Amino acid sequence: MATNNINVDSGVDFSGNSYTNSISNDELTNDDFLQLMLQELKLQDPTKPVDSKQMLSTQMQMSTINTNLETINAMKSLQTSFSQTALSNASAIIGRNVEDGNINDAGINKAYKVSSVETVDGVVQVKANELLYIHESIAIKNEDDTYSEVHYAYDGTILDENGEPTGERLSLNSPGQPVIKDGKLEVFDSENNKITDHKYELGNSQNFVYSNELSTIPFAQITKIF
């Protein structure tokens, strides 16, 4: 019989003698109840027998409670297993770009790069950096007809190999999107004069520029992975 967590409610009468009001144990099982019922039947007053219907009803109630508790425990175990499986599946998108169906101020679907996934209160959530813009690369033609990639800043300022401003600037339609007129990039000098004989050309690669701040997205809200 389960004897742990037994609660005894006692008191003291006017003579100073202690007595027990009740004894309870929240961990009694069906087997414990059956043993108590059999013991009570053995000790009952033959002239005042215990109501068997009432005892059967109590036993049925205990059986129902035990069944409900077992169901709850099984559901908790199933929920834990489901959460672990969902988290494992979600980990496959770490390092990938995703969309969540929301629109940014420019009217374009918001995109993010996933850095981690986690489970919060059983819900899988994604930690990601929002994609600010796509940076179109540019290149400069060398004397041996090869090309070297050239970097430029958010405002179009062209940078040298050390990341320092060269004094020249690209004209941009939007961040990372150079203006092209008559098949050529528009380049200006430090005095805002247009340079027509520059050697810059549009490159053949794209760089993704992300926010430094992490956003939290429910995994179930992701609409696209790319």
pLDDT tens column, 41-98: 676 666 666 566 666 666 676 667 677 777 777 676 656 666 677 788 888 999 999 9
Q: Are residues 209 and 109 in the same domain?
A: yes
Q: Which domain holds residue 157?
A: 97-225
Nearest alpha carbon to residue 176 among 212, 207, 210: 207
**8/148 Cα distance (integer angstroms):** 85
Q: Are residues 42 and 152 in the same domain?
A: no
Model pTM? Answer: 0.53
Examine the fold and report which residue of 25, 52, 87 is the final residue of a domain before the chain moves on. 87
| Average pLDDT for the chain | 81
What tokens were used for 189? 């000098």
Percent of the chain, pLDDT > 70?
68
Do 215 and 110 belong to one domain? yes
C-beta pairs of 160-167 under 8 Å, 24+ apart in sequence: none
pLDDT of residue 3: 47
**188 and 125 belong to one structural domain:** yes
Q: Are both 57 and 106 inside the same structural domain?
A: no
Per-residue pLDDT, averaged over 166-175, amounts to 94
- 23's enclosing H/E stretch is strand 18-25
Handedness of CA 214, 220, 222, 224 (dihedral sign): positive
CB count in 10 Å sphere of residue 63: 12
Q: How many domains does the chain have?
A: 2
Confidence at 24, pLDDT banded by 50, 70, 90: low
In the predicted structure, residue 192 carries a pLDDT above the cut 70 = yes
The answer to whether residue 1 is domain-embedded is no
Together in a domain, 220 and 110 = yes
Q: Is there a single domain that holds both residue 218 and residue 113?
A: yes
Which of 62, 87, 112 is at the close of a domain? 87
